[in-house]
């Protein structure tokens, strides 16, 4: 059965009154309240400079907020250590093959080798790279390198997958294919996803919920439920429902950008 996140399920993690001011004095975020619900596919959509990537880094523990708090569900405190992060660039080790790149997080965690090997094989199969385990990054296309990055994030079986514009640099055909593959992985693994994008069309296609952010300083402008059922495919992408959802989201983004101060 495809995953349908409960619309009012208890948050896996919540940001309460979060602000971020950098040492330069730049205010990246202010008064940001955000619930990330277990099992959902949440996209953060907004103009450059609205703090989308900063939100991901704060959730991941890579950056500390200057105001506010991060709250994890009481019964899921261990999830703070079960986060996968996919960056804008694959950041692969060029001297290591695909298998070794994906194995890296398990080596760092000192996972038993036999178990780690099986997990790497399984995740490579899930992203369609099982035949490329011995290939090196220079031998792969941009889309394939991003698949390796996704596999590396998934190999630790994260409760929360954070993705910072992972497909922005790819051509449209590759991007569409990876969107479909990502939805397949999400539905199979039931991982909670927070996905940063500048694309209205990508956010509507992927998401169960879209948070539109306004900039200067970054804050939540509006929260949109995307009620279209899963699985989604090319038929949905060319449907009147998809067009209407894109129009509504684009209008919200336009209002958010017009509200910059």
Predicted pLDDT at 14? 95
Question: Who wins on pLDDT, 49 or 251?
Answer: 251
Cβ neighbours of residue 258 under 8 Å, at least 6 residues apart? Answer: none
SS (H, E, C) the chain: CCCCCCCCCCEEEEEEEEEEECCCCCEEEEEEEEEEECCCEEEEECCCCCCHHHHHHHHHCCCCCCEEEEEECHHHHHHHHCEEEECCCCCCCCCCCHHHHHHHHHHHCCCCHHHHHHHHHHHHHHCCCHHHCCCCHHHCCHHHHHHHHHHHHHCCCCCEEEEECCCCCCCHHHHHHHHHHHHHHHHHHCCEEEEEECCHHHHHHHCCEEEEEECCCEEEEEEEECCCCCCCCHHHHCCHHHHHHHHHHHHHHHHHHHCCC
Distance of CA 228 to the CA centre of its chain: 19
Q: Tokens 């899963």 correspond to what residue?
A: 230
pLDDT higher than 80, residue 233: yes
Domain limits, the chain: 11-82+158-258, 93-157
Predicted pLDDT at 260? 46
Please say whether the beta carbons of 221 and 252 come within 8 A.
Answer: yes
**Can you state the angle between helices 142-154 and 98-108, rounded to 10 degrees?**
20
pLDDT band at 5 (very low <50, low <70, confident <90, very high): very low
Fold category of 11-82+158-258 in CATH: Rossmann fold (3.40.50)
Q: What is the pLDDT of residues 116-175, one digit of tens each?
A: 999 999 999 999 999 999 999 999 999 999 999 999 999 999 999 999 999 998 999 999
Q: What percent of the chain has pLDDT over 70?
A: 92
């Amino acid at each position: 059965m495809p995953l349908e996140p409960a619309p009012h399920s208890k948050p896996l993690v919540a940001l309460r009154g979060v602000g971020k001011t950098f040492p330069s004095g730049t205010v990246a975020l202010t008064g940001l309240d955000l619930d990330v619900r277990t099992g959902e596919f949440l996209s953060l959509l907004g103009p450059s400079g609205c703090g989308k990537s900063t939100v991901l880094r704060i959730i991941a523990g890579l950056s500390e907020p200057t105001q506010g708090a991060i709250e994890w569900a009481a019964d899921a405190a261990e999830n703070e250590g079960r986060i996968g992060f996919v960056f804008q660039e694959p950041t692969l080790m060029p001297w290591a093959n695909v298998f070794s790149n994906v194995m890296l997080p398990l080596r760092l965690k000192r996972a038993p080798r036999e178990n780690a090997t099986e997990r790497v094989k399984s995740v490579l199969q899930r992203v369609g790279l099982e035949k490329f385990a011995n290939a090196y990054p220079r031998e792969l296309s941009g889309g394939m390198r991003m698949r390796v990055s996704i596999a590396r994030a998934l190999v630790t079986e994260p409760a929360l997958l954070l993705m910072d514009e992972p497909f922005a640099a790819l051509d449209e055909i590759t991007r569409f294919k990876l969107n479909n593959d990502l939805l397949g992985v999400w539905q199979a693994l039931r991982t909670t996803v927070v996905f940063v994008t500048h694309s209205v069309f990508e956010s509507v296609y992927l998401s169960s919920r879209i948070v539109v952010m306004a900039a200067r300083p970054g804050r939540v402008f509006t929260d949109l439920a995307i009620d279209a059922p899963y699985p989604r495919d090319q038929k949905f992408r060319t449907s009147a429902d998809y067009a209407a959802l894109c129009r509504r989201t684009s209008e919200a983004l336009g209002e958010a950008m017009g509200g910059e101060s």
